Structure 1
Amino acid sequence: MIRVLLADDQALVRGALAALLNLEPDLEVVAEVGSGEAVLDAVRREHPDVALLDVEMPGMDGIAAAAAVRAEFPGVRVLIVTTFGRPGYLRRALRAGASGFVVKDTPAARLADAVRRVHAGLRVVDPVLAADSLVAGESPLTERETEVLRAARDGASVAVLASRLFLSEGTVRNHLSAAIGKTSARNRAEAVRIAEENGWL
């Protein structure tokens, strides 16, 4: 049996995925969690073979959780299953050590097969997303610009951002200006939107 952990903040989705995977004769869902923070404890407790992680969860996202799992449990394979098929997410997930990346509208049989393939040591990537990722290229943002844009998602003032990030207001303005230029945005709200749509944040 292939032991599977599911992490998704939407209980309905999590339950549906568990029900579908448990119908397979060789798959057993041994843990279901609703946040990225809960993933490591569940892995320690249940010793899954494969962890299916959603990207967008409150607190620690699925990509950060994937990196944490791979660092502590290199034998556990990670398959990212997400609603948001964004090229930047794919690149970040693979860099974090994920073995696969599929979108949630993947047919159940194909998802079960993806779990088996990842468990066998193969890489599984949604083909449309792989092509989009090649076309989109790498994020043009530096690590610091990404951090500043991420913090600016809620529309906070430069003074608040500077306080949050322990930077000077001038430095925050410079990073925001650079990010706006690199994303060809008109303002920082549009820069945030463009970066989010590409999965760079």
Structure 2
Amino acid sequence: MIRVLLAEDVQMVRGALVALLDLEPDIQVVASVANGDEIFPAVMQNKPDVAVLDIDLPGMDGLSAAALIRDSVPETRTLILTSLGRPGTLRRALTARVNGFILKDAPINQLADAIRGVSVGRRVIDSQLALAAWDGDECPLTPRELEVLRLAADGANAMEIAKRLFLSVGTIRNYLTTVTMKLEARNRVDAVRIARKSGWL
């Protein structure tokens, strides 16, 4: 029996997935959570074989949770189940070394097969998305530039970002100017839009 943890913040979707997966003869959902901060404690308590994680969760996001699981409980494999089907998102997932990545609009039998594949150590990735990621543009921003843009996207101003990152306000403004130029954006808001659309944030 493959023991599964499911992290999905939309209650109706989570309930439907649990019900459908429980119909599979070899899969048992041992825990389901709605908040990213609940993932790791639930993994430690239930020791699932596979953690099926949405990316966009309240609290810790699914990719950060996957990286934490990989580093702390490597015997639990991670499968990203998301509606964020952009090449940049897949690249971020691969960087986090997840074991699988499929889209929410996939048929339930594809999800069940992905869980089975991941549980025995295979890497399972939607083939069309993998091709798109291969052909897509690389993110031109450095990790620090992405960090600054992510904080700006969350609504922090230059002074707040400077305090968070222990940098000067001038340095943060320079980063934001560089980001805007690299992304050929009109302004900071446009830069956030471009980065989100590309799956880099």
- Give TM-score, length-normalised by structure 2: 0.95
Aligned length: 201
Are residues 1:82 and 2:82 paired?
yes
In structure 2, the partner of 1:103 is 103
Report Cα offsets for 1:17-47 as digits up to 9, x if no partner. 1111111000000000112211111111111
Distance 1:43 1:160 in 2: 34
Counterpart amino acid of residue 179 in structure 2: A
- Give the CA deviation at 1:143: 0.9
8 A contact 1:155–1:189 mirrored in 2: no
Report Cα offsets for 1:82-133 as digits up to 9, x if no partner. 0111212211212212111011000001110111011111111112211221
Distance 1:163 1:176 in 2: 15
Distance 1:78 1:58 in 2: 18
In structure 2, the partner of 1:33 is 33
Distance 2:27 2:129 in 1: 26
In structure 2, the partner of 1:17 is 17
Distance 1:173 1:141 in 2: 15
Distance 1:137 1:196 in 2: 13
- Give the CA deviation at 1:51: 0.4
User: What is the percentage of aligned positions where both structures have the same residue?
Assistant: 56
Which sits farther off after the overlay, 144-153 or 164-173? 164-173
Gaps of 5+ in 1: none
- Give the CA deviation at 1:10: 1.4
Distance 1:164 1:48 in 2: 35
In structure 2, the partner of 1:130 is 130
In structure 2, the partner of 1:56 is 56
Gaps of 5+ in 2: none
In structure 2, the partner of 1:150 is 150
In structure 2, the partner of 1:188 is 188
Structure 1 SS opposite 2:38: helix
Which sits farther off after the overlay, 103-112 or 165-174? 165-174
- Give TM-score, length-normalised by structure 1: 0.95
Distance 1:33 1:155 in 2: 27
Distance 1:180 1:170 in 2: 15
Counterpart amino acid of residue 79 in structure 1: L
Structure 2 SS opposite 1:138: coil
In structure 2, the partner of 1:115 is 115
Structure 2 SS opposite 1:195: helix
